[in-house]
């Protein structure tokens, strides 16, 4: 069923993977003590939603395409947050 949902999006081969051509997914985090932790939570958010919608074959951030990562912190020593996006890909 998940692959059938993925098939509604146009796909193409990129760098040894099949990727959505113009369909992005997003992930975010807030209030974390380090940039690394904030990025990790945002990636998990992205991956969990892609997995829910299209299955685990599509949910690997490491092979996704057109990645955008924006992390920031509030003030000096304040908490970190990240907003990310990418087009899901599968091998």
pLDDT for 29-46, tens place per residue?
Answer: 999 999 999 999 999 999
Q: pTM of the full predicted structure?
A: 0.89
For residue 7, is pLDDT > 80?
no
Tokens of 55: 């299955």
**CATH number for 82:** 3.10.28
Tokens of 83: 């907003």
- Structural domain for 13, as ranges: 2-90
pLDDT of the residue at 10: 87
For residue 85, is pLDDT > 80?
yes
Q: What's the number of domains the chain is made of?
A: 1
Least confident of 2-6, 58-62, 68-72: 2-6
Q: Which residue has the higher pLDDT, 45 or 74?
A: 45
pLDDT of the residue at 31: 97
Q: Does an H or E element contain 27, and which?
A: strand 25-32
pLDDT of the residue at 2: 54
């Amino acid at each position: 069923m998940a692959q059938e949902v993925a098939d509604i999006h146009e796909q193409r081969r990129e760098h040894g993977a099949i990727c959505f051509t113009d369909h992005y997914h997003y992930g975010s985090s807030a209030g974390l003590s380090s940039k690394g932790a904030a990025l990790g939570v945002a990636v998990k958010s992205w991956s969990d939603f892609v997995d829910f919608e299209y299955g685990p074959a599509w949910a690997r951030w490491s092979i996704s395409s057109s990645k955008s990562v924006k992390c920031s912190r509030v003030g000096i020593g304040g908490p970190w947050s990240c907003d990310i996006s990418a087009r899901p890909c599968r091998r």
